[in-house]
Amino acid sequence: MSIVAAVHGGDQPPRWSDWDGAALIAPEHGFAWIDVVDVEGDDIGKLQAAYGLHELAVEDSMSLSQLAKVDLYPDHVFVVAKAAELGASRIEYTDVSIFLSEQRVITVCRMETDFGRRLRGRIDRIAARNVKGPEYVIHEVLDLIVDDYFPIVQMIADEVLLMEKRLLDDSLDRDEIGRIFQLRRETIHFKHVLTRMSEVCNKLASLDVPCVSNEAKPYFRDVLDHLARIDAMSDGLIDVIRTALEASSLLEQQRQSAITRQLAAWAGILAIPTAIAGIYGMNFAYMPETRLRFGYFIVLGVMIAICGILYWRFRRLGWLQSGRADPARKPRPARFHGMPGAG
């Protein structure tokens, strides 16, 4: 069934069971947790009828794309959080809606995901803490979401750094350049999600939100600290992507400049025999050296000598070398200079 419920704080450990449609009665020092996977959008109506959920909050929970936020209603608090995972080519987001009231919390997800299964698995972790308020379920949701943010940033950074490493050996093709731009767009959008999620955690940790006890606020501050770290990592990731794009442009300009120098050098070398052959091919009756016995060999030797000198000169200047790194050439050792006053 898509609606399961568990009661915390009773004599027995909390266990998931199918919800029978009746309002759950929680112990005096416990709470009821109802988790919903509502793909079709029908089950949330049953919960609205049973618990009197506000119609605006229900409408937002049925949306497939909501901003992370905290809304206050007369008898409950509505929270939207954004879970994320890195798919085959983009970051995929899942909205998790939470209805919080005294001794009751309802979590709603519009699709069956691995995140939802892992969230239900956290029921034992909450029970082990011996907590007494439903607001700690919100902390578990936010904590699990934020923990999934770290590998997203790391995987994008690894992919960009791999492309950056390839830049030193070969130029990136059109698809790879497009992939870098896509990762940049995904990272910027991810930054916007982080900003909204930070606002949610900041409200829960700092403001007097109904149904959120003062004892639970340090837990939300801990999640807020993790979000601050991920936000800093995202800023660094955007800088890495920008650097990769700039490096790709600079290296491509360098390769084009090397090709231009090669063409200019070979054009200069070939211009000498072309000019001499053109002069002696004009078929005038009286031209110097045309009657000499060894005139042909002298002119041919002059052309070879001049071309050889030009080849040696251009080779020494590096104009005949390709723009790629020479594998036989040893790199210059790096020199690190200590900062003034360093011990």
- Inside any domain, residue 329: no
Q: Which residues contact 318 (CB under 8 A, 6 or more apart)?
A: 261
- Inside any domain, residue 340: no
CATH number at residue 205: 3.30.460.20
Nearest alpha-carbon partner for 176 in 256, 257, 247: 247
Q: Which residues contact 276 (CB under 8 A, 6 or more apart)?
A: 299, 302, 303
User: pLDDT digit string (tens) for 81-136?
Assistant: 999 988 878 899 999 999 999 889 999 998 888 888 888 888 878 777 766 788 98
Radius of gyration for the alpha carbons in the chain, expressed in angstroms and rounded: 35
Whether the per-residue pLDDT at 338 is higher than 60: the answer is: no
Residues 243 and 96 in one domain: yes
- Inside any domain, residue 241: yes
Name the residue range of residue 216's domain.
3-249
Residues 259 and 132 in one domain: no
Range in 266-275, 289-298, 322-331 the model is least confident about: 322-331
- Parallel, antiparallel, or unpaired: how do β-strands 77-86 and 91-101 relate? antiparallel
The last residue of a domain, from among 194, 221, 249: 249
Residues 266 and 229 in one domain: no
Residues 41 and 115 in one domain: yes
Nearest alpha-carbon partner for 170 in 324, 322, 326: 324
User: What is the per-residue pLDDT for 289?
Assistant: 65
Residues 63 and 201 in one domain: yes
Rounded to an integer, the average pLDDT of 31-35 is: 90
Rounded to an integer, the average pLDDT of 196-221 is: 91
- Parallel, antiparallel, or unpaired: how do β-strands 69-72 and 77-86 relate? antiparallel
Residues 143 and 282 in one domain: no
Is 166 strand, coil or helix? helix
Range in 51-60, 197-206, 219-228, 275-284 the model is least confident about: 275-284
Residues 84 and 21 in one domain: yes
Range in 19-28, 62-71, 252-261, 322-331 the model is least confident about: 322-331
Residues 230 and 274 in one domain: no
Residues 67 and 139 in one domain: yes
User: What is the per-residue pLDDT for 108?
Assistant: 92
Rounded to an integer, the average pLDDT of 254-274 is: 84
User: What is the per-residue pLDDT for 334?
Assistant: 38
CATH number at residue 263: 1.20.58.340
107: its two tokens: 């979590």
Rounded to an integer, the average pLDDT of 268-274 is: 86
User: What is the per-residue pLDDT for 57?
Assistant: 92
Q: Is the Cβ–Cβ distance between 62 and 183 less than 8 Å?
A: no
At 207, phi and psi to the nearest 5? -90, 165
Residues 205 and 127 in one domain: yes
User: What is the per-residue pLDDT for 150?
Assistant: 93
Q: Is the Cβ–Cβ distance between 168 and 72 less than 8 Å?
A: no
Residues 226 and 110 in one domain: yes
- Inside any domain, residue 323: no
The last residue of a domain, from among 233, 249, 265: 249
Q: Which helix (H) or strand (E) holds 162?
A: helix 135-167
Q: Mean pLDDT for the chain?
A: 83
User: What is the per-residue pLDDT for 149?
Assistant: 93
- Inside any domain, residue 215: yes
- Inside any domain, residue 339: no
What domain count does the chain have?
2
The last residue of a domain, from among 249, 267, 288: 249
Residues 7 and 145 in one domain: yes
